[in-house]
Chains A and B, each alone.
Chain A
Amino acid sequence: DSGVTQTPKHLITATGQRVTLRCSPRSGDLSVYWYQQSLDQGLQFLIQYYNGEERAKGNILERFSAQQFPDLHSELNLSSLELGDSALYFCASSVLIFGGKEGYTFGSGTRLTVV
């Protein structure tokens, strides 16, 4: 157990629907990062939050949004889902605003399947 908790582990939904992925960072970590890993692809950075504020944006679609709550958990909202959104979505956390030499601690991911 890495200390980063992601729920649900698996999600199957239809095109056009909206889903919410949840992440609880490791205790003491203030930064939360969201990554998307499509089939046979590397990880693509989506967005970062630090202590409740958005700090960096990557290749995140306008249909996607995220937030970090006062208790530091984060939610990634995916709307108007398309087949191409099927992927493994990772949450990672770190204590620093930047990644730091310690690297990230990753959650086990949420596998989203859009049918």
Chain B
Amino acid sequence: AQTVTQSQPEMSVQEAETVTLSCTYDTSENNYYLFWYKQPPSRQMILVIRQEAYKQQNATENRFSVNFQKAAKSFSLKISDSQLGDTAMYFCAFMNPKASNQFYFGTGTSLTVIP
């Protein structure tokens, strides 16, 4: 089974600053997908960003970007110009498109943006 590890249970950042959330995963596969989901206090799960493992270029979505290190099996999320609305739980997720019908989620990082 795949494992996804988020080693930072809680983090905080000042508004307008930059923060990086860490995620590592374990797999023997070469092709897979990685995702970051955001869960605000409303509990809705919202897709933030995704990365295909065969792409070397790091994904970027506005203020959100990833640092994908395939050899190190690392997939960190950088949030720039943090906003109060970024306060949420962030989950890293792994999906193997060939063999798995489910996503494997990490245990989450609770991010608080401080005004």
Contact = CB atoms under 8 A, between A and B. Distances in A.
B97 A103 contact: no
Contacts of A100: 33, 97
Given A42-B107, A99-B33, A99-B97, A109 B43 contact: yes
Interface in B64-115: 91, 93, 95, 97-98, 100-108
A87 to B, nearest CB: 11
A31 B101 CA distance: 10
A90 B43 CA distance: 10
A108 B42 contact: yes
Contact of A103 (B35, B44, B102): B35
Given A97-B101, A104-B103, A42 B108 contact: yes
A98 interface: yes
B107 A58 contact: no
* Contact size range, B: 20 to 34
B101 A41 contact: no
A101 B50 contact: yes
Contacts, number: 70
Given A42-B106, A108-B43, A103 B101 contact: no
A64 interface: no
A42 B105 contact: yes
Contacts of B52: 101
Interface string A76-115: 0000000000001010100001111111111011010000
B47 interface: yes
Interface string B6-37: 00000000000000000000000000010101
B44 to A, nearest CB: 5
A74 to B, nearest CB: 14
B43 A103 contact: no
Contacts of A45: 102-104
A41 B52 CA distance: 26
Contacts of B98: 98
Contact of B43 (A58, A88, A101): A88
